[in-house]
Chains A and B, each alone.
Chain A
Amino acid sequence: SQQGEEDPQALSIQEGENATMNCSYKTSINNLQWYRQNSGRGLVHLILIRSNEREKHSGRLRVTLDTSKKSSSLLITASRAADTASYFCATPVWRDSSYKLIFGSGTRLLVRP
């Protein structure tokens, strides 16, 4: 089952605008990760934010984490057509020595030239 929900499910913006997508999760976490998926292909890791961090930046990406609300947001600034993709948040689950990610439902971003 999925850890949480992302909203919006789909987002269409003009090139140069900012894109914000939100993620909610259900359980306590050690960190939260964001991944990007270009149409029908594999996922690419974008950024990881630890539970003791509130904000993190990487290039045009800004991620915030609010553990009290169990939510995170991903902001992409000055978007480009190449940012068109689906974006997923993911939370890790450790059990004994096994590791897996629980993914959100994803946000489909379309950046119009």
Chain B
Amino acid sequence: KAGVTQTPRYLIKTRGQQVTLSCSPISGHRSVSWYQQTPGQGLQFLFEYFSETQRNKGNFPGRFSGRQFSNSRSEMNVSTLELGDSALYLCASRNTGRGANVLTFGAGSRLTVL
């Protein structure tokens, strides 16, 4: 069973640009969530998607957005990048049936904003 796949793994952007990150969940997992990890703030919840609907969003500005497609793949977008957006962005998928509490994470997308 393939794991959670995130692309790209690394990217460098400059302030003001926008970025799109992609996540393919484990087959059959319909819930996809995103987390931001920084040295200062640690791991913070960004949003959760289920059946193409955003169920919840963390305390992040509107520059952070996302979506989920009918095949459960998800993308997140950050517009007007700021230096503080430099982080490891982690995607996780969840089986909403048995074992619904456990998240399976991808390897992450490391974003550097210059």
Which of A41, A45, A99 gathers most chain B CB within 10 Å?
A99
B100 proximity list for chain A (CB < 8 A): 99
In contact, A97 and B45 (Cβ under 8 angstroms): no
* Nearest chain A residue, comparing its CB with the CB of B46: A100
The distance in angstroms between the C-alpha atoms of A58 and B101, with both chains bound, is: 17
B49 CB, min distance to chain A CBs, angstroms: 10
Number of interface residues of A (CB under 8 A): 27
Comparing B60-68, B72-80, B103-111, the segment that makes contact with chain A is: B103-111
**Looking at chain B, what size class is its interface with the partner chain?**
20 to 34
Contact of B4 with A42 in the complex, beta carbons under 8 Å: yes
**Which residues from 41 to 73 on chain A have a C-beta closer than 8 Å to any C-beta of chain B?**
41-45, 48
Contact partner of A101 (CB less than 8 A), chosen from B6, B103, B106, B107, is B103
Asked whether any CB of chain A lies closer than 8 Å to the CB of B42, the reply is yes
A contacts, CB < 8 Å to B: 1-2, 30-31, 33, 35, 40-45, 48, 88, 92, 95-106
Q: A2-B43, A43-B103, A106-B43 are in contact. List 10 more A-B contacts (CB 8 A).
A: A30-B101, A41-B107, A43-B43, A43-B90, A44-B105, A99-B31, A99-B100, A100-B45, A103-B42, A104-B42
